[in-house]
Chain A
């Protein structure tokens, strides 16, 4: 957990957020916050990585113009509606379609063909799907392979509001520029424009892409194993956890995979220092794709 050391935000400016207020978030404060959240709502952030968690808290203090951490704790404890806004702010939801195009090419050209060698139909879990860009990327990939209807997809996230965004599949037009660039580098067979319509300044995704996707509000920290999958994507989620929590979440992901199922993590994450690393083999080190080889 957090050391008993002072977290200093000097003049009160968290990077880039140019407020002049004096705010000092100490590790003891972070502990108090996670404790209050745990007591009132059950969510457990005690083992989130300290650096980003502290920035999220500073950001919330500024966003809601809360002068001290105690004000924040009071609000958490007394206002359920506030907590519902707090939760998606505390997590990091930034995502894109076809993030790391070379990863998606690998999935299309090697991973899925390999799964198809032994299975007519198979299942995929997006653990930490955020606003759904990753899910739509997968659906487009599967559609272009002609196997979208053969795949069961579960997409989950800890945040309810972000999940409903995913289900809606409406994105800011401006973001589509980057998504389109990624799609081109993924070398899809079409153009991304064929998968959405512009309506009221929004890109509205083709709903038929996700008609078989089931969205679930699921907390990787507290949730139990609920199903088995052939492929799990848990990308850029565990980076927000400390190593201890990474280990325990990884055990769950391992249990949720069929033997010889695949696990994909973010391109700057690794399993090498996890306790159960020996139960996986590396399939592609550059794209961080692993295969479960032992129960």
Chain B
């Protein structure tokens, strides 16, 4: 009866988004089950030199508070994390975050590829990667890494995107598991969460 092939093996969800993803991500955060089990790790392109405001904007309608991790902070169940402005955000094997000011990648810092790729490395097949609207190719390589390591990949349906370059780039690079509109992504997360109850 399930419309998605999910189980309770997953340990984390990572979401990448760029231009045109704000609406989608806000909707997802607003419709997340209150008892959502997994850490939700967001890497969204944002103004590099505006430190404040974005977390607040995202938290406004979110079911859960959104926080920016401090360097070496542990990744905890049920929390929503956002890559801070002007830092790349990596995951480390001991399930903590590392921040870095390395060169921009794909013209971005934070770069989605870095968060996705390190998450894939740490969580392997126990990871779900979601890539939303965006005007460049950041995140495509990260999605491939998630897929290569056995995780589940979801892109926002290009027809549902304000700008579909990003999800399309991922679809070109790897065989993504699901192409879903925002509402379906929410359904997916709700269904996923049921596996843990």
Contact = CB atoms under 8 A, between A and B. Distances in A.
Interface string B114-137: 100110010000000000000000
B93 A50 contact: yes
Interface string B90-104: 111100101111110
Place the interface of chain B in its size category: 35 or more
Interface stretch (B2-10, B27-35, B138-146): B138-146
A16 B105 contact: yes
A92 B101 contact: yes
Interface in B37-72: 49, 51, 68-72
A38 B100 CA distance: 24
A15 B105 contact: yes
- Which among B84, B96, B106, B141 has the greatest number of chain A C-beta atoms within 10 A? B141
A92 B100 contact: yes
Given A100-B51, A240-B100, A268-B84, A13 B93 contact: no
B11 interface: no
- Which among B70, B91, B113 has the greatest number of chain A C-beta atoms within 10 A? B70
Contact of A236 (B72, B101, B145): B101
Contacts of B71: 238-239, 266, 268-270
B102 A92 contact: yes
A251 interface: no
A273 B121 CA distance: 25
A269 B49 contact: no
B51 A49 contact: no
B141 A49 contact: no
B152 interface: no
B87 interface: yes
Contacts of A238: 71
Given A100-B51, A243-B72, A273-B72, A55 B148 contact: no
Contacts of B88: 52
Contacts of A266: 71, 99
Given A181-B49, A269-B70, 4 more contacts: A52-B98, A94-B102, A266-B71, A270-B73
